[in-house]
Amino acid sequence: MAAPKPCLIHAGKEDEVCDAESAQQVYREVRHIYGLYGAEEKAELFIDDCPHEYSARMANRTVEWMNKWIAADPQPLLPLTDADLFYADPEHLLCHPSARVNYYTLNQQEAARLEKQREENSQTPDGLREAVRKTLSLEGNYDAVGEWISLIDIPVWSHSLYGVDLALPGEVHLPGLLLKRTQAKKMPALL
């Protein structure tokens, strides 16, 4: 959609979200499209030796790129180093909704109401199990025995992916996928 406007794509060799190989594939496709406009030189891929972040070297390449394609009177590059970067404390990055009533606040109020209702109705695992059975109109014992198989060797960003096989009575097996936060505390879940 942007062709033939100048397009600089950044990627990190160690990026755990969008790996460098995927970025190279995107770049090949972008370069092909730009070639149709006779503008292949207006598309570039810059891969840095970093994880999922915007590095000082990426910032420097961006300034060089903008000086080449956008600046009417380019100024000399004053390169950044990693030591020049500072990172905001995590609490400064938190976003808070408006204090006015909106969809977010309405959903937040409803979630609080439902949480209180759940606490009152099913404070134990047996109570929760009974509430699920009643809601789904299930009769009998449906306790599943689960087996998890890790599908990836290392967490991707902050998540892990598992194959799940739930064995039910009568030799019934329900396969599934479970994506969960790697560092999450143990919490109840309904699969």
pTM of the model: 0.49
Stretch among 7-11, 29-33, 153-157 having the lowest mean pLDDT: 153-157
Measured distance CA(65)–CA(59) in Å, rounded? 10
Q: H or E element: which one contains 110? A: helix 103-121
- pLDDT-based confidence at 191, cuts 50/70/90? low
Q: Contact, 162 vs 151, CB < 8 A?
A: yes
For residues 102 and 24, the model is more confident at 24
User: What pLDDT score was predicted for residue 27?
Assistant: 96
Handedness of CA 106, 109, 114, 117 (dihedral sign): negative
Surface-to-core class of residue 49, CB atoms within 10 Å of its CB (0-12 exposed, 13-18 middle, 19+ buried)? exposed
Query: Residue 145's Cα: distance from chain center in Å?
Result: 30
Residue in the block written with tokens 């970025």:
23
Q: What is the mean pLDDT of residues 122-140?
A: 72
Q: What is the mean pLDDT of residues 110-129?
A: 78
User: What pLDDT score was predicted for residue 23?
Assistant: 93
User: What pLDDT score was predicted for residue 117?
Assistant: 81
- pLDDT-based confidence at 121, cuts 50/70/90? low
Q: What is the mean pLDDT of residues 152-164?
A: 74
Measured distance CA(26)–CA(9) in Å, rounded? 9
- pLDDT-based confidence at 142, cuts 50/70/90? low
For residues 190 and 152, the model is more confident at 152
Cross-strand pairs, 179 = 161
> pLDDT digit string (tens) for 16-45?
888 899 999 999 999 999 999 999 999 999
User: What pLDDT score was predicted for residue 181?
Assistant: 75
pLDDT-above-90 percentage for the chain: 32
Query: Residue 140's Cα: distance from chain center in Å?
Result: 39
**What DSSP line would sit under 4-26, residue for residue?**
TS-EEEEEETT-SSS-HHHHHHH
For residues 18 and 64, the model is more confident at 64
- pLDDT-based confidence at 57, cuts 50/70/90? very high
User: What pLDDT score was predicted for residue 43?
Assistant: 96
